[in-house]
Amino acid sequence: MTPSIESIETLLVDLPTIRPHKLSVATMACQTLVIVRMRHSDGIEGLGEGTTIGGLSYGPESPESIKCNIDAYLAPLLIGQPSSNLNALRARLNRHVRGNAIAKSALETALLDAQGKRLGLSVAELLGGARHDHLPVLWVLASGDTQRDIDEAFQHLETRRHGDFKLKIGAKPVDEDVRHVAAIKAALGEHAGIRVDLNQAWDESTAVRGIAALQEAGIELIEQPIPAREQAGLIRLANRFEVPMLADEAVQDARDGLDLIGGGFSGAFALKIAKSGGPRSVLGLGDLAQTAGIGLYGGTLLEGSIGTAAALHAWATLDEMAWGTEMFAPLLLKDDIVAEPLAYRDFGIALPKGPGLGISLDEDKLRHYARQ
């Protein structure tokens, strides 16, 4: 008998961070994960995660809305349906529910995890097969203090945990941000690459001035300096400067990617399973980018270990991640809700082994951190 989806449970899980994490859109001392537990009639449970940044600071979905919309609208569309036909289930969700990419990503991840467990295959194998079993991971320096960031970077270099770094800027005046970034780059020299992420903080004229100074300082990549909807401006910036632009919020899915490529964009794309609606959807964007010669970067919405593992399985199937990944978020959290932590070593992370995601829950930790 074909197994079916019996129940879908969602939990809000609040995990404190190891230090305040400062972005242009928010300062985070806690991250809220939406954990999905999808149970099937054959006794298999699939795990998924939907996570965003700073409540509603990053985008239109908050942890609370993700949970609410799954419970009220998306889960009823799946319960009772056959478990194994992922394409049909994705089409059913997309036909009846607009947007809600993060919520859909959590459900797609849970479906893939369950199917992998059912067949004895990893999620990467379900997605076509892993080309890599170890992926590079940078660290985000976001304490806001220049010397602390420099010390933190050298510590990670010494322990071989991270070899490149990203700085979150945009909340302060341009000149102050540039001084901060330039000082860190000067201190690290050729020991590590430095990128910056503006999270849409500048307008185009400010970006012209700021990027010129950052390029002079030796910064190697500029992520989303202007608002996402200003695609024409991002294309102009990409064509104006030698330092590449990384499109993040401006490229949610393959449709956005096609618009940017068609407009002459020559930079790189940040892939995120959450913003694209799941691992299968994000790989469509990745294939499009690679066909057009656009470099790829594996991004995060600061997911915990479940969401991070799902992204790693997707990234592992791609030919090349020219700019590496930033799948560091579990290290930003003081604790975890999984039985075995992800394996960070040699400036990167190992692809989890085993069927499905290769992840299991620590039930005691889950109960402790789940919001009541």
Rounded to the nearest angstrom, the gap between the alpha carbon of residue 116 and the centroid of all alpha carbons in its chain is 22
- Note the pLDDT tens digit of each residue in 334-344: 999 999 999 99
Whether the pLDDT of residue 366 is over 90: the answer is yes
Residues 81, 70: Cα–Cα separation, whole Å: 15
Q: 210: which residues sit within 8 A by CB, 6+ positions away?
A: 174, 177, 178, 202, 225
- Note the pLDDT tens digit of each residue in 30-73: 999 999 999 999 999 999 999 998 888 888 999 999 999 999 99
For residue 124, how many C-alpha atoms fall within 13 Å in the half-sphere facing its CB? 21
pLDDT band at 93 (very low <50, low <70, confident <90, very high): very high
- Note the pLDDT tens digit of each residue in 119-160: 999 999 999 999 999 999 999 998 888 999 999 999 999 999
pLDDT of the residue at 8: 98
Judge contact between 289 and 267, C-beta under 8 A.
no
Residues recognised as catalytic? 168, 326
Token reading at 13? 């899980």
What is the mean predicted confidence (pLDDT) over 190-219?
A: 96
pLDDT band at 22 (very low <50, low <70, confident <90, very high): confident
pLDDT of the residue at 56: 87
Whether the pLDDT of residue 169 is over 90: the answer is yes
> What is the helix (H) or strand (E) element at residue 350, kind and residue range?
strand 348-350
Order across the sheet with 5-22: list the strands.
Answer: 5-22, 27-40, 45-51
Q: Which domains, from first to last, does the chain contain? A: 5-120+362-369 (3.30.390.10), 126-350 (3.20.20.120)
- Percent of all residues in the chain with a pLDDT value above 90, rounded to a whole number: 92
Judge contact between 146 and 180, C-beta under 8 A.
yes
pLDDT of the residue at 1: 78
Mean pLDDT value across the chain: 95
pLDDT of the residue at 206: 97
